[in-house]
Amino acid sequence: MKKNNEAYQLAKYISDFLSDYAPSFLTTSQCTLKSYKDALVLYIAYLEEKGISPDTFNRRHFEREFIERWITWLKEKRLCCPDTCNVRLASIRVFLEYLGTKDVELLYLYQQAKQIKRQKTSSKKVSGLSREAVGAMLEAPDLNTKTGKRDIVFLTILYATAGRLDEIRSIKISHINLSADKPYINLHGKGDKTRTAYLLPRAVAHLKVYLKEFHGDSPEPDDFLFYSRVGTEKGKLTEAALDKRIKKYARIAHEKCQDVPLNTHAHQFRHAKASHWIEDGLSVVQVSFLLGHSNLETTMKYLDITTEDKVKALSTLENEAEKKVSKKWKKTDGSLSDFCGLKR
């Protein structure tokens, strides 16, 4: 049987995109990387259901016709909502743009994908947290446990800085300065931008106690503020782990304050803080700066309670285990998914 060289090349591009290119040049967000992988897993699974095998797999299977039929499959068979379909499509577009940089003859696939219409979605609203709800959340952790002591500091910093979840996860000891006249934390956010978040006395007091108990008298500058200990290593906590903690405290806090949504997530703390800054008299320009928005229009939309479709849609993604993509394109059990290194 004649070897399908194009299929091998496409499978290699998929592997290289997920394991090397995306995490090195596109994003460090595990949530975004996961969405790229999920989209490709589902796309290859769809092709497999349509009878495409490693022997027949080629560039034609990434053309507009196949992608549009895949979106219909997502809606009708997997019952995906419009937001999720749009996120899947966006991920495929990113991959096809990468293909075009590797082989100019494949650039037409990205051009076709850009012409595919997004699914119509209804306007989404962020269910913000009231001051009472934030207070109830901060009272929920059990301070008699070590995990509870960590989590009260995590929730306090999450609200005090209005940081994105990945920004909070990425805080290192070297990013914190509590001895300055105005104590602060440097947050490293989207696009490798850094902004300074100043801390009020309550947050500073919590941090000082936490640092001494969890990091000792001489903290290592490169250690993460909030870490997960695996063996002797102090690794970065996953977004999934922190989201699970937030929802646990939301259930506890909801019993005392009905304003606390049971599905509370980290972004609501950021939105709540922005709203509370406005209520306290800060201007939209000041809040825009504090949030790290690149332009004022983004903040105007944000404070109108709307949030990016992408953030809401990502929250609907399947909670699959995060695994590093192995390069399986060199060997296969006969299935297209295994051939591309994308087991379902």
Q: Do β-strands 176-177 and 184-188 pair in parallel, antiparallel, or remain unpaired?
A: antiparallel
Give me the pLDDT at residue 132, please: 93
Q: Does 250 have pLDDT greater than 50? A: yes
Q: Does 227 have pLDDT greater than 70? A: yes
CB–CB of 187/175 below 8 Å? Answer: yes
Domain range annotation of the chain: 5-123+317-339, 131-306
Q: Which of 80-84, 194-198, 271-275, 294-298 has the lowest mean pLDDT?
A: 294-298
Q: Record the tokens describing residue 324, joined without a space.
A: 């590093």
**Cα–Cα dist 289/244, whole Å:** 30
Is the overall model pTM greater than 0.75, yes or no?
A: no
Q: Do β-strands 233-236 and 176-177 pair in parallel, antiparallel, or remain unpaired?
A: unpaired
**Cα–Cα dist 230/46, whole Å:** 37
**Cα–Cα dist 173/24, whole Å:** 24
Q: Record the tokens describing residue 222, joined without a space.
A: 């490169």
Q: Where are the beta strands (DSSP E) in the chain?
A: 176-177, 184-188, 194-198, 227-230, 233-236
Q: Which of 75-89, 263-277, 289-303 has the lowest mean pLDDT?
A: 289-303
pLDDT tens across 304-323, in order?
A: 533 333 333 323 333 333 33
Q: Record the tokens describing residue 283, joined without a space.
A: 């201007």
pLDDT tens across 52-75, in order?
A: 999 999 999 999 999 999 999 999
CB–CB of 326/316 below 8 Å? Answer: no
Give me the architecture of the 131-306 domain, per CATH: Orthogonal Bundle (1.10)
